[in-house]
Structure 1
Amino acid sequence: MLFLCTLSVGAQDYFPKNDGVKTTNTNYTAFTNARIQVTPNQVIENGTLLIQNGKVVATGTSVSIPQNTVVIDLKGKYIYPSFIDMYSEFGVEKPKRPMGGGRSAQYDATREGFYWNDHVMPEKNAMDAFSFDSKKAKELIDAGFGVVNTHISDGILRGTGVLVALNTQADNNYRILNQQSSQFLSFSKSVTSTQSYPTSLMGAMALLRQMYHDAKWYEAGNSNTKDLSLEALNKNKQLPQIFDAGDKFNGLRAAKIGNEFGINYIIKGSGNEYQAIQDIAATKATYIIPLDFPDAYDVTDPYQANKVSLGDMRHWNQAPANASVLAQNGVNFALTTANLRKASDFNANLLKAISYGLNKTKALEALTTIPAQLLGKSNEIGTLKNGALANFLITSGDVFENSTTLYENWVQGNKHIVNDMNVKDIRGEYTLRIAGNQYSLSIKGSAGKPVAELMKDSTKIASKFSYSNDWVQLFYTPEGDGKTEFVRLTAPVTDTDNLNGTGTLTNGNSVQWSAVKTAPFNERKKSEKTTEIVSTIPVTFPNKAFGFSEKPQQQTLLFKNATVWTNEAEGIMKNTDVLIRNGKIAQIGQNLNVSGATVIDATGKHLTNGIIDEHSHIATAAVNESGHNSSAEVTIEDVVNPDDINIYRNLSGGVTTIQILHGSANPIGGRSAIIKLKWGENADGLIISNTPKFIKFALGENVKQSNWSGGRFPQSRMGVEQVFVDYFQRGKEYGETWKKYKALSSKEKARTPMPRYDLELETLWEILNEDRFISCHSYVQSEINMLMKVAEKFDFKVNTFTHILEGYKVADKMATHGVGGSTFADWWAYKYEVIDAIPHNAAIMHDAGVTVAINSDDAEMSRRLNQEAAKTVKYGGVSEEEAWKFVTLNPAKLLHLDDRLGSIKPGKDADLVLWSDHPLSIYAIAEKTLIEGVVYYDYTTMQQMQKSNDKERNMLINSMIEAKNKGMKTQAPKIKEQELLHCDSL
């Protein structure tokens, strides 16, 4: 009857019916006496839900029930709206990489009439690739879901998704709710194309920016050609924009792009958002959060335990609280099954998230009303209001309790049975009597799938129990007979307190048996164990070893009786006091006394300004965008990684400021990021505001691809020169075109096509106007000469030659040109083009009048730059003061920051280091490293933090061993090596 009373949805109503008389079903179905959760915040006790034709007709306590209604009494049961998963790949096969691996990368798009980059595919529609998967649908239905928003998980711009009701009794004509429900994006390239660009995260971000600029320009009618991708992008811009970020920092990066172009991305996260919660909350972005929690590591072997970092151990402990932390900080989010190995894991993880503090109402909102609202379908799905689709769950109790059974999931008015709600509950304690023997029978588990244990006195009897279709079967081996024969018992279930049936003994004789319930099943509800929220380890800044429990604050500090290396005309001052106030150097002198200042006794110690590394690759998530021979459109500022432990290690070596340079994969690289090493701050907090703008260029073996397979132009050193000339000419023409356009009157602009805004050429135009400075990777004198001549041809100067191990050969020409040299102290002969390098290089350039700096280009060497500077005293006889300037004042000059950094002078930033010994000594320890008056590194505090880290680590190891002993799943420990990036890292 229930089947007849539901809507027949095999075909649209205007389709011809050739297999019988066509009839229309107008019956209703009423679910009475239920606790109805109409919305997460509206509950009807002892109510009625009335549905017809797959929709909700009415809900309430006094619903008028029509005569042609099937009434289902749900006394004691609950009704909830079915869940919605708005980030899914359901029914859409993931594209596969084409056969024939090992092919060389391509540099141009393969599709005619579409965008210039194959990884941008807004014209793709998931509907075209969709095929309903009944097996997967059942898994989702069993987990409580009624609707999914699915898409093609491939590419940077992935096209539109399709919104699907999980109605296994219908066809796509009925269950497709929206053929173009949303637009999906990511930072990941398509697997179907071998087009190499972009090869990096920063390249993907630059591509997205250029795409949005191009779409606006195209929409205004400025293009002479057709672009089907841009037309689709502009058509889809009103749809919900769902961005698969996959990481806490990538979520912030996506929000950054969205803010630039006025787009409110819905960001699909990864589960570690709690680690950057303040920054994420500040974006006001909505998130889609997976409930994919890491398993404990199997750390029973001490050697294996050493493979797991403290940060990964913490994440195991903290990850289940992610959703709770988001909710507590006002972040709007939906929940998804994405990232889970199987949909059946979702409910267990959801209950775990609730035990870690996620409010039940927030959880229900995240599964119903929030995704419905984000998808623009609040009137159709997510609630049980009148007119909504009849998508609902019938449960035995609170849907967010472990003891609750999900009975049915109705989708578009069609019933899907998960657990039979009419099953007789036979659980309890029984006394079983058969053939003069008495046993104890304990039936536990769930009502629909009970399990049993048979005991004789205190001995467990091997047995097998099953229960289905109101019949029980029990097989067991009698104790002590030494045989393998079984006693076989069966009985119909007519009374939940008594079981009576027939059986067959081991000798084949039939026998009557009975089991009388002596005690009811005592179901210990999960809620009894979760009234207290599970506690987690507090998050630190950053959330790893040596992270601060609270971010350090600016102080007023007075250093007394130090040997002060001023880098100014005063030189090295003995027994001198330095006052720090409001992040600046306030006063230098002797016998200073300041009320309210924290006094630091620096007697016998040396106070210097912080070391500045002109060429570094730490604290970044990417170093090269190698997909083109010019990547001037990318910026390292997009990929700054504030969690890099090398920040803290550099602080321990007295480094306070670095320039993070793009690598040397191409002649024209990407733009730089100049940061201060403010350990515990976010990426934006590291980047120095209002700095001069820099870009990385490169010469030599790397850019002509001597050391890896390429095929991209250039393949020779003379080709490198041609790249520079061609691009500067293009940049010049680009800039002049824009100058002419901007000079037009309003009327003239109205009838003149606007030039295309080009991020790459815009950057080159900045160089030509000396609004951006070049730091060029260089080795061989011929190429150093070449680039200076190219620059002079276009009337600008190269700012810095970095590496420049043959600088001593052309030092006089460098001085004439006005370019600085940032070099290694004593690296040579590690590849052919540095075979002529000498350790006297820095001294010779310095003597010729070149501004010289010593750089690292290496995460390990960067924290010993004081010792690298000392080598120039040995090799070339540079004075100690001048040698110290090679890692302080001189790199500040090369970065055009010497008005703020590089020396100890009133008014400059209080970026200081207190050394235990002469700063050029191998015995010198950086006791305190300050940035703008904040102590970011303290040697004594570091030792205390090490002890605290060890103690916490041991506690987490014990917790994971305990979890394993309780039967929880574990994973094998893994060493997660952090790649130390260099110029040639790809």
Structure 2
Amino acid sequence: MKKVFLLLLLVLSQSSVFAQPNQNGVQDKRPGYYLFKNATLHVDPSTVIEEAWLLVHDEKIEKVGKNFEVPKSTQVIDLKGKHVYPSFVDIYSDYGMPELKRGMGGRGNFYEMKFDSDKKGAYSHNMAIKPEVKASELFTINPKSAEELRKIGFGAVVSHVKDGIVRGNSVLVSLNDEKESTSLLKGDVSSHYSFLKGLSTQTYPVSLMGCVALLRQTYYDADWYKKTNAAKERNLSLEAFNANQALPSVFHATNFHDVLRVAKIGKEFGVKYIIKGGGDEYKRIDEIKSLGTHMILPLNFPKALDVEDPIDAENVSLADLKHWELAPGNPAALQAKGVEFSFTASDLAMKSTFFAQIQAAIKAGLSKKDALAALTVNPAKALKIEDQVGTIKNGLLANFLITDKEIFDDKARILENWVQGKRYVITDISLSEIAGKYKTNVPGFNTLTVTGEVDKPAFEFALDTVKLKPTVTRDKNFLTITYKKGNEGVTRLTGVIGDKKISGQGVDAKGQTFTWSAELAEEAVAKKDAPKAADKVAENKGGMLYPFTGWGNKELPKQEDLLIKGATVWTNEKEGKIVADVLVKNGKIHSVGKNLSSAGAKVIDGTGKHLTNGIIDEHSHIALFSINEVESVSSEVRQEDVINSEDINIYRQLAGGVTTSQLLHGSADCIGGQSAIIKLKWGESPDNLLIPNSPKFIKFALGENVKRGNANTTPNRYPITRMGVEQVFIDAFTRAIAYKNEWEAYNKAKVKTGLVPPKRDLELDALVEILNGERNITCHSYVQSEINMLMKVADSLGFKINTFTHILEGYKVADKMKARGINGSTFSDWWAYKMEVKEAIPFNAAILTKMGIPTAINSDDAEMARRLNQEAAKTVLYGGLTEEEAWKTVTLNPAKMLHLDNRLGSIKAGKDADLVLWTDNPLSIYAKPEKTIIDGAIYFDLTTKEQKEKELRDEKNRLVQILLAEKVKGTPTERPVMRPRAQEVHCDHIMEYDNISVEQLESFLQTLNASGK
């Protein structure tokens, strides 16, 4: 019995030791009961209790209500006249995470490619995929940052490491200044994703479309890994990725294009992402609403632009001016559409501007109730942490704010921020008010007027008309005052605030001491608050543009029934050129003939003009955020993932009569990415530009570009010879055939239990589609020998080539192309711009045409695409094609090679109403498109161009005048960031990341985001 008793004592003694942390000195851990009485308590944005009681015990809220019993040891704090709110919650933070030291690695230099991961262990092959990162294991308290956030009202944040495409999971922490073990509230709160590869030193991915492809492949890899139960490999990254799918998923987007891109990925994999936006969601508000997702909105609204210099005013874009005006209204626009959102302070360079930005959003139409919800209940609900933070309710953490006025009053101050029941004084609640007029005996003055904030008073001494404003510092009830009078030295005063009196000692400029005092003569009269601009919805005078750029439309063009009468119609059919009427109904060509009529149709006089179908550009790189990925085989990337619907080249090419473009991957890779075929519907969202159910295409490339033969430095990427190019194709299709066979065998035998499916490979999926005849090849090509090589490879491995593009030595191999049914898409008269085109001739297109090969003239150049009608005309000069044959090289022939000639390419009943009304013969250098029509909607109209120009000038001037007035008022301004002229891209251009590191890119993006651009 004695032994048992001693053992029990030992256990108890050890328990008491281990129950307390090591501490040098005496511990003071009293039972903390606080009762806050008589406050206006904002339980949540919809619930307010007047003269409420709030009981706090230790770190939790014990009880909320009125006149209830409290423990005898309770400390009572009277908050009469004060307001209590839940402390704010930021769910997109990196507080407490390790600093990301950014070097010069990343997407960087093509000629120093790095393929393998530096990360040791059974992790992902790509360093940008790091789902295994656990923020809870990395979190450390940062007292300075915590204090900064507490001062603007935050009590808790959800924090993660903002690095990589798959970023791991987050942690919920409170903003106290104690220990990590106390602050860390919940681990594994949410999983995080982005399209930025971060600090990865691997070259892949080099493009935005590569980031999308890598993320998609990771989802498929993780699904396969889950199904196989790690039977074939062990991958800690995929295990973590799958585990994280049980958490809310948060995706970082930099702009509305990203938001729509994220939603497509979510739809593919059944994930409803919470999306951290870029602040420009108002530009595509209806599309954003249709996603039904929770948005996290930044508050880094752009500063007013300094356009006092006429050159700056001339150079700044209308889009930047309008974004400055409309960005603060972004939250209100989402609120009006019923989109739920939270705010984050993470993008604010200066956290002290937080409330000013909230006020700007309220002034722009956001209700105060919704502003409060976006900082409290909405973020808590979005990440399922409402059982701890976000409201003031029994059992939740004692995270709350005490303010002297309603929190979004522009004069309101946060007095205290209580975090986990610990008091943090922001503005000393005990400070007495001293504003008023005083009689004083300070030498040289007889009156003192005190104004300003209670903790930051402003003094003005006066004697008759002489007035002086000293520098004043208040610490509790002590004052330090300094001033310089005339040419005298500095006089210093110290003072103590008493009851209606201030008194103390002074030292004048000569070093003589004196006593001084000031007695209150007249208390400051509280001003009645005038109706605040913040309570009014700002009038949006400028309105939206679609797209949001110069030459955008105030409204999207609408489909109309049109009757074009009396034009010379280039039918591209057996009828040839005829003078006739064309009737358009419901976006289709209804009929072609004489004396047509239709009630309600808009009549367009075509007399003396020429009507053609729209020009089709088989080879284009406009309207894309990415052109090239830089692996030898990049068939997993898709141009449709990176369509830039705001590209001004869409409008410019409409003005040149182009209505359809195939957006191709570049020629940096032997096997490039999957193309996108779009109609140039200026103002529509990216997905609405795509032609639904259009045939599938992919870009291949031969020659100098893929082996980098025109580079000064030899890359370390295979291949570097034309022989190596051939081997890349053989290897890729050999793998694809084996992959295809593996899937076919599995699909035949998958009824067997326990059969492991093959691993889905997006790169090989596209090649199998080629083998199956479901995806068509457009191949960048120049030299006869390589063209022959690829045809032989295709013959031997069982796939077909649809089109050789450029094909400047096509005249040498026309017979072989014709035998295989291969099309040619070429330039009209480009030659001698590099070695492999030294034998190009301007007769190439005509020779191919006369050989019976469907031949197109393409642009590969945004400027040339504006004049493809003139490029087609050159085939009449070089080769003697008829006008109608020449016209087909930019209309019917590209429609055929895109397998869209059942819809496009000629003017025939039943085809799409993609039409151009020209002022002259379309092959003439004098011809201009008067109207460019797509699916029965007029997207370009020369007759209204001057009026549109005037409207744009007037709108820009209106905004410039507002900004000039803002500068006069003293509003802080910044000079506009002058964007360089967009570089026109060609096949071999590595677009937005060419020769810069990801760190430089992200820094640039952050700069643009911070300025709202």
- CA shift in 2, pair 1:781/1:379, >3 Å: same
Indicate how the Cα distance of structure 1 residues 452 and 18 shifts in structure 2: closer, same or farther if over 3 A, else same: closer
- Matched pairs, number: 965
Give the AA of the match of 2:136: M
Are the equivalent residues in 2 in contact too, given 1:109–1:117 (CA < 8 A)? yes
Query: 1:523 and 1:307, CA in 2 relative to 1: closer, same or farther beyond 3 A?
Result: farther
Equivalent residue runs for 1:572-591 within 5 Å:
572-574=577-579, 576-591=580-595
Question: Which is worse superposed, 411-420 or 935-944?
Answer: 935-944
Distance 1:460 1:684, change over 3 A: same
Quick one: structure 1 residues 476 and 685, their matched pair in 2 at CA, closer, same or farther if it must change by over 3 Å? Answer: same
- 1:465 equivalent in alignment to 2:480: no
Which residue number corresponds to residue 948 of structure 1?
951
CA drift of 1:526 comes to 8.0
3-state DSSP of counterpart to 1:225: coil
Kindly provide the CA deviation profile for residues 340-372 of structure 1, in whole angstroms up to 9, marking residues without a partner as x: 112212111111111111111111111111111
Query: Structure 1 residue 806 and structure 2 residue 809: aligned?
Result: yes
Equivalent position amino acid for 2:806 in 1:
H
Q: How far apart in 1 are the matches of 2:861 and 2:289?
A: 35
**Is the 2:804–2:824 Cα contact (8 Å) retained in structure 1?**
yes
Cα distance in 2 for residues equivalent to 1:157 and 1:745? 32
Asked whether the 8 Å contact 2:625–2:643 carries over to 1, the reply is yes
Deviation of 1:505 (Å): 4.9
Secondary structure in structure 2 of the residue aligned to 1:327: helix
- Please point out which of 199, 210, 217 is paired with 1:210: 217
Give the match for residue 5 of structure 1.
none
Q: 1:871 to 1:453 in 2, by over 3 A?
A: farther
The DSSP-based 3-state class of the residue aligned with 2:251 is: strand
Q: Is the 1:161–1:183 Cα contact (8 Å) retained in structure 2?
A: yes
User: Which is further off, 753-762 or 965-974?
Assistant: 965-974
In the alignment, which of 733, 754, 757 is matched to residue 754 of structure 1? 757
Distance change in 2, residues 1:605/1:524 (3 Å): farther
Equivalent residue for 1:983, pick from 983, 987, 1007: 987
Quote how far apart the aligned CAs of 1:187 are.
0.7
Work out which of the residue numbers 115, 134, 137 in structure 1 matches 2:146.
137
Distance of 1:208 and 1:338 partners within structure 2: 24
Deviation at 1:706, TM superposition (A): 2.1
Distance 1:17-1:438 versus aligned 2 partners, 3 A rule: closer
Q: Deviations over 1:561-589 (max 9, x none)?
A: 10000000000002x11100010100111
Structure 1 range deviating more: 297-306 or 814-823: 297-306
* 1:151 and 2:156 aligned: no
Which residue is equivalent to 1:605? Answer: 609
Report the Cα offset of residue 297 of structure 1: 1.9
Q: What is the rounded CA distance, in whole Å, between the counterparts of 2:601 and 2:528 in structure 1?
A: 60
Alignment partner of 1:882: what SS? helix
Whole-angstrom CA distance in 2 between matches of 1:372 and 1:828: 63
Is 1:924 aligned to residue 927 of structure 2? yes
1:70-100 CA-partner distances (Å, limit 9, x unpaired): 0000000000000011111112133324688
Unaligned runs of 5+ in 2: 1-15, 991-1013
- Deviation string 1:439-490 (CA, Å, 9 cap, x unpaired) is 4533222111122233443444253223222133433344xxx532344444
What corresponds to 1:646 in structure 2?
Answer: 649
* Secondary structure in 2 matching 1:306: helix
Q: Secondary structure at the match of 2:315?
A: coil
Give the match's secondary structure for 1:830: coil
Q: Which stretch of structure 1 is more off in the superposition, 861-870 or 524-533?
A: 524-533
Residues 459, 469 of structure 2: 8 Å contact kept: no
Other-structure match for 2:548: 543
Partner of 2:448: 441
The residue correspondences of 1:690-769 to structure 2 (distance < 5 A) are 690-708=693-711, 709=713, 710-744=715-749, 746=751, 748=752, 750-769=753-772
Aligned to 1:691, the other structure's residue is in SS state coil
Deviation at 1:963, TM superposition (A): 1.7
Q: Secondary structure at the match of 1:983?
A: coil
Could you say if the C-alpha distance between residues 844 and 455 of structure 1 is closer, same or farther in structure 2, counting changes exceeding 3 Å?
Answer: farther
Task: Name the amino acid aligned to 1:119.
Answer: A
| Structure 1 residues 511-551: Cα deviation after superposition (integer angstroms, max 9, x where no partner) | 54434343515557586332322233311111221211111
- Per the alignment, residue 971 of structure 1 pairs with 974
Instruction: Name the SS of the counterpart of 1:415 in structure 2.
Output: strand
The 10-residue stretch of structure 1 (694-703 or 423-432) with the greater mean CA deviation from structure 2: 423-432
- Matched with 2:126 is 117
CA contact (8 A) 2:657 2:932 kept: yes
Q: Is the CA contact (8 Å cut-off) linking 2:297 and 2:342 kept in structure 1?
A: yes
CA change 1:870–1:646 in 2 (3 A) is same
Equivalent residue number for residue 12 of structure 2: none
Question: 1:595 and 2:599 equivalent?
Answer: yes
State whether residues 401 and 527 of structure 1, in contact with CA within 8 Å, keep that contact through their aligned partners in structure 2. no
TM superposition shift of 1:62: 2.5
Structure 1: runs of 5+ lacking an equivalent: 1-10
Secondary structure of the equivalent of 2:518?
strand
User: Is the contact between residue 435 and residue 523 of structure 2 (CA under 8 Å) also seen in structure 1?
Assistant: no
CA offsets, 1:28-55, max 9 Å, x none? Answer: 1000000111111111100011000210
Does the 8 A contact of 1:94 with 1:154 survive in 2?
A: no
Query: Distance between the aligned counterparts of 2:555 and 2:830, measured in 1?
Result: 40
SS in 2 for 1:578: strand
Counterpart of 2:534? Answer: 530
The yes-or-no answer on 1:186 pairing with 2:194 is yes
| Identity among equivalent pairs (%) | 49
Q: Compared with structure 1, are the counterparts of its residues 154 and 19 closer, same or farther at alpha carbon in structure 2 (3 Å cutoff)? A: closer
Q: CA deviation at 1:896?
A: 0.3
1:910-945 C-alpha deviation (Å, 9 max, x unpaired) = 000000111111111111000010011111222211
- Superposed, 1:392-403 pairs within 5 Å as 392-403=400-411
Deviation at 1:304, TM superposition (A): 2.1
Question: TM-score, structure 2 length as denominator?
Answer: 0.93
2:63 corresponds in structure 1 to 58
Q: Does residue 172 of structure 2 align to residue 163 of structure 1?
A: yes
Please give the secondary structure, in 2, of the residue aligned with 1:47. strand
- Note closer, same or farther for the CA distance 1:97–1:898 as it changes in structure 2 (3 Å cut): same
Aligned positions of 1:753-832 closer than 5 A = 753-832=756-835
Contact 2:436 2:520 (8 Å CA) reproduced? no
SS of residue matched to 1:580: strand
Does structure 1 retain, via aligned residues, the 8 Å contact 2:445–2:461? no
Query: Which SS does the other structure have where 2:706 is aligned?
Result: coil
Match of 2:314 among 306, 330, 345: 306
Q: How far off is 1:161 after superposition?
A: 1.5
Change (3 A) 1:430 1:954: farther
Structure-1 residue corresponding to 2:364 = 356
RMSD, aligned α-carbons:
2.0
The one-letter amino acid of 2:235's match is D
Preserved CA contact (<8 Å) 2:136 2:184: no
For the residues of structure 2 that align with 1:58 and 1:901, how far apart are their CA atoms?
71
SS of alignment partner, residue 703 of structure 1 = helix
Instruction: With the length of structure 1 as denominator, give the TM-score of the two structures.
Output: 0.95
Structure-2 change in CA distance of 1:683 and 1:17 (3 Å): closer
1: CA distance between counterparts of 2:32 and 2:706? 74
Residue 903 of structure 1: aligned partner? 906
- Structure 2 CA distance for aligned equivalents of residues 215 and 745 of structure 1: 20
SS of the residue aligned with 1:190? Answer: coil
